[in-house]
Amino acid sequence: MKKCFNQEMVDTINNSLQLLDCSFRYVLVKEDLSGNILSNPHIEIVPLSMKFIESYIFNLSKSYYEWLEKFCKDNFDITLSYNNSKNVIWSNEGW
């Protein structure tokens, strides 16, 4: 069964990140830059605030990604795929 990221999942992740006092969160992306609906929506990491920020790069630890992968497997029964910089994440079960 196809299982993609949805807003409820993103809210659950973000609530946990807030409890961990992280300075970032995820946003759900359901459309490409042209406005086309994505068949497998993804999440992107963003700072909590863009105040005074022109650009950013997150270099998160291996232990963070291990935590995130376990969290997503335990809570949503999904495994994750990443882009090269790991700032964009898809559900493997969404393909």
- Residue 1 reports pLDDT greater than 70: no
Sorted by sequence, the CB contacts under 8 Å of residue 3 that are 6+ apart come out as: 76, 77, 78, 91, 93, 94
Helix 62-76 with 7-19: angle, nearest 10 deg: 130
Domain assignment present for residue 79? The answer is yes
Residues 45-91 have pLDDT tens digits of: 999 999 999 999 999 999 999 999 999 999 999 999 999 999 999 99
Domain assignment present for residue 12? The answer is yes
Domain assignment present for residue 56? The answer is yes
Q: pLDDT at position 35, please?
A: 94
Tally of domains in the chain: 1
Based on its alpha-carbon atoms, the radius of gyration of the chain, rounded to whole angstroms, reads: 13
Domain assignment present for residue 35? The answer is yes
Domain assignment present for residue 42? The answer is yes
Sorted by sequence, the CB contacts under 8 Å of residue 30 that are 6+ apart come out as: 37, 38, 41
Query: Residue 21 is part of which domain span?
Result: 7-94
Q: pLDDT at position 42, please?
A: 96
Tell me the CA distances in angstroms from 15 to 32, 35, 46, 92, one per residue in order.
26, 28, 14, 22
Indicate the pLDDT class of residue 2, thresholds 50, 70 and 90: confident
11 is written with which tokens?
């809210």
pTM of the model: 0.91
